[in-house]
Amino acid sequence: MSTTTHQGTALITGASTGIGAVYADRLARRGYDLILVARDAAKLAEHAARITAATGRRVDTIAADLTNKADLRAVEARLREDRSITALVNNAGFGATKPLADSDIDDLEKMIDLNVTALTRLTSAVVPTLVAHGSGTIINISSIVAVAPELLNGTYAGTKSYVLAFTQSLHHELSPKGIRVQAVLPGATGTPFWERAGIGSADNLPAEIVMPAEEMVDASLAGFDLGELVTIPSLPDAADWERADSARKALGPNLSRRSAATRYQQAATA
């Protein structure tokens, strides 16, 4: 779906390169004014000028390191105070490929700060405004490692599992208030992510598993238009995800009971 009706303003984190930069382009074409957030002010300004020239949309930028408390608070304040904001795309994030034993724990803590803490605080800042509007959109960029934690680095997988669980919970909380949320689980996507994650380039991965960022974002927005809560752009059959999610939900009635399962009672008395 494409429209030029004015949709309000979308704030997109990590919009200087890769997936976030494509979201910026696509949401502007859908009629959003934009607030683009990342650390690289020059890249943001270039991108903003390109988008305004192509679409005529108003594009503001905020240069912020979302792992820095003062910078993060400034973006939160904008989300709380700017009543034109109707959408948040929590996209800024980074990954890692080394095992825990070979990783720098300070780098991993920074990853949690960005992928989890910043995403949570920004969401918390925007929700009251969206609830007041009775509408709005939150798109959270997770990853397929949320459901395949044996791939890549375990902390990265943990952060992206958090994003998935948080989004599922937000859907439960916010859909009755008219707010759409979506978790996007990209597979390998051709962006600078892979250089930053320490494996050189996406070109070092098998070509058949790497999707161009444009195709990934267009598929995710198509998933959004289809009303999906969870979008896995590569997955050929959406029913595979629905079956997995139904199996999870089927555990529900047995997850909290007065007594331990029989097999544990037997083990305790053996």
Residues that bind ligand NAP (CB under 6 A): 14-20, 38-40, 43, 64-67, 91-95, 114, 141, 143, 186, 188-189, 191-193, 196
Pick the closer one to ligand NAP by CB: 94 or 241: 94
Instruction: Give the nearest distance from C-beta 258 to ligand NAP in angstroms.
Output: 41
42 vs 109: CA distance, rounded Å: 27
Instruction: Give the nearest distance from C-beta 68 to ligand NAP in angstroms.
Output: 7
Residues in contact with 133: Cβ distance below 8 Å, sequence separation at least 6, in sequence order: 86, 178
156 is catalytic: yes
Pick the closer one to ligand NAP by CB: 135 or 138: 138
Instruction: Give the nearest distance from C-beta 216 to ligand NAP in angstroms.
Output: 8
Instruction: Give the nearest distance from C-beta 95 to ligand NAP in angstroms.
Output: 5
Q: Which alpha helices (H) appear in 91-187, and where do they start and end?
A: 105-112, 119-133, 154-174
Q: How far is CA 108 from CA 48, 103, 155, 264, in A?
A: 31, 7, 7, 36
Catalytically annotated residue among 23, 32, 156, 162: 156
Pick the closer one to ligand NAP by CB: 135 or 168: 168
Instruction: Give the nearest distance from C-beta 112 to ligand NAP in angstroms.
Output: 12
**Angle of CA points 163, 93, 122, to nearest 5°:** 60
Pick the closer one to ligand NAP by CB: 19 or 221: 19
Pick the closer one to ligand NAP by CB: 85 or 144: 144
Question: Which DSSP string do the residues of 47-115 spell out, in sequence order?
Answer: HHHHHHHHH---EEEEE--TTSHHHHHHHHHHHHH-TTEEEEEE-------S-GGGS-HHHHHHHHIII
48 vs 214: CA distance, rounded Å: 17
Residues in contact with 170: Cβ distance below 8 Å, sequence separation at least 6, in sequence order: 123, 138, 181
Question: Hey, which residues are catalytic here?
Answer: 156
